Amino acid sequence: MRLLAITILFFMLLDTMLLQTLAHQDLPSAERVPRLNMKFDSWRMKLSWDCEENTTYLECVMIHKENGPITIIPQEKECHCEFSDYSLHDGVTLMVKVNSTQRPIPETLVYANSGGNGTAAQNFSCFIYNANFMNCSWAKGQAAPDDVQYFLYIRDSRKRRERECPHYIEDSGTHVGCHLEDLSGLTNYNYFLVNGTSQRTGVQFFDSVLSWKKIEIYSPPNNISVFCNASHCLIYWEKPKTRYRLSNMEFKYQLDIQRKSNKENSENQLIEVPGNLENSYNFPSPEPRPKHTVKIRTSDARIQKWGAWSQPIEFGSSHHRLYSHRSRASKTSG
């Protein structure tokens, strides 16, 4: 028994010495990374955080529902990233990856659209017309309270100029649209934000990034003229005025040529013509030719969105061989 007691005492002393030795060794441990105190300015699309000495920031990431991960490499010794414009109404997750001795360690920030579901403006759209005017419209959210009020804000993609809607369109006192007559400062892409307020509940926002080229509705062509000889009538026109200068090749045109008759319905032809340097169409029409009318409308060559028809021009019958019409853009949206 005495020998057994001595053996147990020996192993107890050995365990104590082993634990003391391990306690003084540099064992691997999880590296502590200071909280970055991340902040996101949604209007400027700017993610910022507190700078820490001897810390390297590898990348910023925005995880977007539609566009997936969007990555930016921050400048050296800078503690912010500025993203291009993206819609945020579905919420995004933002991440900063910090360099450590073991591995990159990410810190995340969830940006959510606070407010009641279904309270945001819906069916939002805008279109530019007559080159210098724009109308936007939206509908009241399905779950929006009766006292909801919406406000539209617009910012250019360079983040230099911002404005609130100058002329709201109302339905029973609620803003449901906007009319703008000054488009100065807008760029190829612009950020649109519709905020909402209510005394009863929080209202979610709706936002969108729109390209002017996709929302501009082109006016009819200018200076439409018809020159006829014994066998043909040559129809000329000039490209319409647009928000930004475009080449002839960026347009396409549709001609509606109708042959008048005593019948209740006239015979007509719809002819599509690509834009070119001449902007003309040679219409076979031998003499004696019956009375015809022609009207023309314009679309983008790649994005088919036809604008309004021009006023019809008559040619043929007892008219002279030169027929011309100067079309002018109206200030109304029609």
Cβ partners under 8 Å of residue 31, min gap 6: 100, 101, 102, 105
Output the pLDDT for position 262. 55
Q: What is the tens place of the pLDDT at every residue in 159-174?
A: 878 899 999 999 999 9
Whether the Cβ atoms of residue 237 and residue 222 lie closer than 8 Å to each other: yes
Work out whether strand 292-300 and strand 251-259 pair parallel, antiparallel, or are unpaired: antiparallel
Flag residues of the chain having pLDDT under 70. 1-34, 54, 100-104, 262-267, 318-334
Phi-psi region for residue 176, left (φ > 0), alpha (ψ -120 to 50) or beta? Answer: alpha
Q: What is the tens place of the pLDDT at every residue in 98-147?
A: 876 555 678 899 999 999 999 999 999 999 999 999 999 999 999 999 99
The 8-class DSSP code of residue 249 comes to: G
From residue 259, alpha-carbon distances to 225, 236, 265, 266, 284 in Å are 17, 19, 10, 6, 12
Output the pLDDT for position 102. 55
Whether the Cβ atoms of residue 268 and residue 229 lie closer than 8 Å to each other: no
Gap between the Cα atoms of 275 and 300, Å rounded:
10
The b/e string for 38-51 (b: 16+ C-beta within 10 A; e otherwise) is bebeeeebebbbee
Q: What is the tens place of the pLDDT at every residue in 49-80?
A: 888 776 777 889 999 999 999 999 888 778 89
Distance of alpha carbon 37 from its chain centroid, rounded? Answer: 30
* Averaged pLDDT score across all residues of the chain: 82
Helix count and strand count (H, E) for the chain = 2, 24
The b/e string for 15-32 (b: 16+ C-beta within 10 A; e otherwise) is eeeeeeeeeeeeeeeeee
**What φ, ψ does residue 2 adopt, rounded to 5°?**
-60, -40
Phi-psi region for residue 296, left (φ > 0), alpha (ψ -120 to 50) or beta? Answer: beta
Whether the Cβ atoms of residue 269 and residue 243 lie closer than 8 Å to each other: no
